[in-house]
């Protein structure tokens, strides 16, 4: 007998975790999301279930626009949102392009500035047939628009860099020989042109001593 696989609406919990990240140390905060129509999310997760809890290859990539997916032995909103948000560490402060999707597409969907609504559903029972469970969220408007920034430059430059959230903000520490030899000034550079011009290694800290 084939195990029953059900769908659970987890929009309320996921909206709360999304909004927490959209406001985390941000000034100004990104707008809060509300729960939207779950028809698209439900339709996509049901197609996944009907295919034996396996992906369906979409010929039309537009059908995948505005969708975040998290798979695992067990799934939850907190784990999904944490995983999507952690792509911030690969975020490079550029206009969105399809090239960015695999590394940071989930993060930018979560943080897209003009998204208003969210709907999330998850499977219960895929694990009983030896498959990962899935949590899926749909966004409206869908975000990840090629050629646009996910959010205002003032938000990303003033927040992600200065709060040490993103390693792609170049950190340069100058040490000056003051009386107590302890004066430190930290500068954060997140300008792509600056980084390219000076061949900056993002994972390296420079310590310059000057008299």
Domains assigned to the chain: 6-154 (3.40.33.10), 169-210 (no CATH)
Q: Is 64 helix (H, G, I), strand (E, B) or coil?
A: helix
Which DSSP letter does residue 196 get?
A: H
- Asked whether the predicted pLDDT for residue 125 surpasses 60, the reply is yes
CB of 140 closer than 8 Å to CB of 38? no
State pLDDT tens for residues 7-62.
999 999 999 999 999 987 676 788 999 999 999 999 999 999 999 999 988 655 66
Beta strands in 99-182 (DSSP E): 117-124, 133-140, 170-176
CA distance 170 to 201: 8
CA distance 109 to 147: 14
* Beta-bridge mates of residue 135: 70, 122
End-to-end CA distance of the chain: give it in Å, rounded. Answer: 79
DSSP-derived secondary structure for 113-127: TT--EEEEEEEESGG
Sign of CA dihedral 84, 19, 48, 98: negative
pLDDT band at 64 (very low <50, low <70, confident <90, very high): confident
Pairing mode, if any, of strands 117-124 and 34-35? parallel
């Amino acid at each position: 007998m084939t195990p029953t696989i059900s769908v659970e609406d987890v929009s309320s919990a996921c909206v709360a975790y999304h909004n927490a990240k959209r406001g985390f140390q941000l000034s100004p905060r990104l707008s809060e999301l509300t729960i939207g129509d779950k028809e698209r999310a439900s339709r996509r997760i049901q197609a996944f279930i009907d295919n034996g809890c396996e992906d369906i290859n979409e010929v039309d990539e537009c059908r995948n626009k505005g969708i975040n997916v998290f798979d695992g032995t067990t799934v939850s909103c907190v784990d999904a949102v944490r995983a999507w948000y952690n792509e911030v560490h690969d975020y490079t402060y550029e206009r969105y392009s399809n090239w960015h999707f695999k590394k940071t597409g989930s993060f930018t969907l979560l943080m897209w500035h003009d998204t208003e609504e969210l709907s999330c559903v998850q499977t219960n029972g895929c694990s009983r047939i030896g498959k990962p469970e899935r949590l899926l969220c749909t966004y409206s408007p869908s975000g990840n628009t090629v050629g646009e920034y996910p959010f205002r430059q003032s938000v990303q430059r003033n927040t992600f860099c200065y709060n040490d959230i993103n390693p792609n903000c170049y950190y340069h520490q100058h040490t000056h020989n003051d009386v107590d030899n302890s004066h430190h000034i930290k500068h954060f550079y997140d300008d792509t042109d600056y980084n390219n011009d000076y061949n900056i290694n993002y994972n390296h800290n420079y310590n310059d001593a000057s008299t």
